Amino acid sequence: MSDDVVDLSATAPPAQLTTEYCIIGSGPAGATAARLLAERGRDVVLLEEGGDFTGRALTQRDGAMYDQLYMDRGGRTTEDMSIAVLQGRALGGGAVINASDVVPIPPAVLEHWSRRFGIPGLSEAELAPHARAALEDLRANPIREDQLNLANRLLREGAQKLGLRGEVMDHNRQGCIGLGTCLIGCPMNAKQSPRLVAIPAALAAGARVFVRARVERVTGAQREDKTVVCRALDAKGYHAGARFELRAKTVIVAASAVGSAHLLLQSGIGNPHVGRNLMLQPQLPITAIFEREVDAFRGIPQAYAVTEHETADAERGLWGFRIEAIMGTPGIVSTLLPWIGAEGKARMSRYRHIAASLLLVPDEPSGEIRRGPGGRPIVRYTQRDNHRARLREAIKVATRIYLAAGAREVVVPCHPPLLLRSEADLSSADALDFAPATVPLLSAHQQGTVRFSTSRSQGGADPDGQVWGTKRVYVFDSSGYPSSASSHTMAPIITTARALTARLS
């Protein structure tokens, strides 16, 4: 599948590389921009530090796949190690390992962006054609009733018994056979990720795509010609090898809300807002234990969402919380259960009886990206009281739902573990303080860090994504989002990347 993709772990980097548009990062943002620009006849180079994985290369082996498909081999965390910061590192970015849920930006969020931040070009009406095109890119379609596994149906059953609103989400799978290993890549190539849609289209339109090409910095950001300083990586992406440079008139940084800000900081580009306003949207996984076998690991893991408590907030954008069924492979589930040794083994032997949910609680800007030693980012984040309060509330609601659906107990994976077996137990959630390293919070929807703004005193980039103080250095990913766009960021990022690319001359 990768005939036209140049793998720099196997091929020497070109001696002279020049282009009109250099795009850094090949996830939903970068791949979309590369495709649209190439289809406009522009000269495009796309640089990606991850490898190229499709079909059988996605082996379904936990260890190997987290190692190869995730940033920092799945080990990226906040500085205090309180939140796992999950991000893809592969051609196609996080869309190769995400849960395939397609959730557009809620209109109330766009209204908030317009009213509170006055950002032109991102209103519901202006984004509508790009949002439609994003859904087409993703081949978005509803998850069918026969594709709902028992774990998702139990969450729905419990919610319905309690009269709570919910929905089966849309997804970007075609030809899914329900193997359930989506979070370590789909060997069936069922996920219509940018790897299978935007990147082939970009290549067909003449874009040059390099993998195992890590950008270390960009120089000359205020000049006509920029220099992009890169290193080729080895086949597994562990070690940096040959250094090479690329000349470009326009640089589009699309390395994620962590990676883009970090690259700008490494390059000394931008104003003091770069790196600030980080939103991690920390999520809490909980498990429900049933007497019956649930086999949540079979079929589509994340299909049903309880949306009753998700709200639009005039001051903050997306607020409240959302509860979504989820399941992981044994390796990841064992790390998320709060037991080790004999108890951990006994609990894992009941793997077939587990249903799990993610409590998705949007946040306001609460952190920052800093330069760390060895060219690595430091992700600094302080959880706010309002986030803790909504997490506690979400735990109670999710527990009621699972108990209504017949669960024996709900496990909150904190230390010490919290076991909730009845309504009377719920008040014990009030004591949870989510102190660092006591509960496995996850982040999959990083946003902020190079905030779009109408004035350089308010953010890191202008409304077109051009980093303030530069000549044609842009950020096209969720770095620019002034508030949380959605519970899920893939469709939003493709939408805004399309809008920003359309405006780019």
Ligand X SMILES: Cc1cc2nc3c(=O)[nH]c(=O)nc-3n(C[C@H](O)[C@H](O)[C@H](O)COP(=O)(O)OP(=O)(O)OC[C@H]3O[C@@H](n4cnc5c(N)ncnc54)[C@H](O)[C@@H]3O)c2cc1C
What are the residues binding ligand X (CB under 6 A)? 24-30, 47-50, 86-90, 93-95, 97-101, 103, 183, 214-215, 254-256, 259, 263, 302, 444-445, 477-478, 488-491, 493
Distance in angstroms (rounded) separating the CA atoms of residues 472 and 461:
11
Peptide bond into 416 cis (omega under 30): yes
Rounded-to-integer distance, Cα 467 and Cα 172, Å = 31
Return the structure tokens found at 231: 């290193």
- Residue 383 interacts, among ligand SF4, ligand X, none and using kind-specific CB cut-offs from 5 to 8 Å, with none
135 vs 143 by CB, closer to ligand SF4: 143
* x-marked contacts with ligand SF4 along 16-45 as a string, rule CB under 6 A: ------------------------------
- Tell me how far apart the alpha carbons of residues 276 and 479 are, in angstroms, rounded to a whole number: 10
Choose the one of ligand X, ligand SF4, none that binds residue 29, judging by a C-beta under 5 to 8 angstroms depending on kind. ligand X
Q: Applying CB under 6 A, which of residues 188, 312, 378, 404 lies at the interface with ligand SF4? A: 188
The two structure tokens encoding residue 414: 């904190």
**181 is a site residue for ligand SF4 (CB under 6 A):** yes
| Cβ neighbours of residue 329 closer than 8 Å, sequence gap 6 or more | 60, 62, 181, 183, 184, 297
Judged by beta carbon distances under 5 to 8 A according to partner kind, the member of ligand X, ligand SF4, none in contact with residue 488 is ligand X
Q: Which residue of 153, 156, 173, 353 would you call a contact of ligand SF4, by CB under 6 A? A: 173
What dihedral do alpha carbons 20, 25, 27, 28 form, nearest 10°?
A: -40
Give the C-alpha separation, 114 to 485, whole Å: 13
Q: Is the CB of 279 or the CB of 493 nearer to ligand X?
A: 493
Report phi then psi at 200, rounded to 5.
Answer: -60, -35
Candidate list 6, 133, 162, 179; residue touching ligand SF4; CB under 6 A: 179
What is the closest distance, in whole angstroms, from the C-beta atom of residue 290 to ligand SF4 in the complex? Answer: 21
The option from ligand X, ligand SF4, none interacting with 89 (CB < 5 to 8 A, set by class) reads ligand X
The footprint of ligand SF4 on residues 282-341 (CB under 6 A) is 300
For 203, the token pair is: 């290549």
Measured between alpha carbons, how far is 196 from 192 in angstroms, rounded to an integer? 6
Which residue from 176, 288, 303, 410 is in contact with ligand SF4, where contact means CB under 6 A?
A: 176
The answer to whether the beta carbons of residues 30 and 252 sit under 8 Å apart is: yes
Place of tokens 């893991």: 301
Token pair for 300? 């589509």
Residue 177 CB, shortest distance to ligand SF4, in Å, is 5
Select the binding partner of residue 179 from ligand SF4, ligand X, none (C-beta < 5 to 8 A, by kind). ligand SF4
Binding residue (CB under 6 A) for ligand SF4 from 186, 333, 418, 473:
186
Question: Nearest distance from residue 493's CB to ligand X, in Å?
Answer: 5
Q: Decide: is 195 part of the binding site for ligand SF4 (CB under 6 A).
A: no
User: CA 58, CA 54: separation in Å to the nearest integer?
Assistant: 6
> Quick one: CA dihedral 183, 483, 304, 349, positive or negative?
positive
Instruction: Tell me the pairing of strands 304-306 and 367-371.
Output: unpaired
Choose between 418 and 491: whose C-beta lies nearer to ligand X.
491
Is residue 233 involved in binding ligand SF4 (CB under 6 A)?
Answer: no
Nearer to ligand X, 78 or 87 (CB): 87
Using only the alpha carbons of the chain, give its radius of gyration.
Answer: 22
User: Hey, how many other C-beta atoms are within 10 angstroms of the C-beta on 315?
Assistant: 9
State in angstroms the smallest separation of the CB of 148 from ligand X: 16
Give me the residues that bind ligand SF4 (CB under 6 A), please.
Answer: 173, 176-182, 186, 188, 190-191, 300
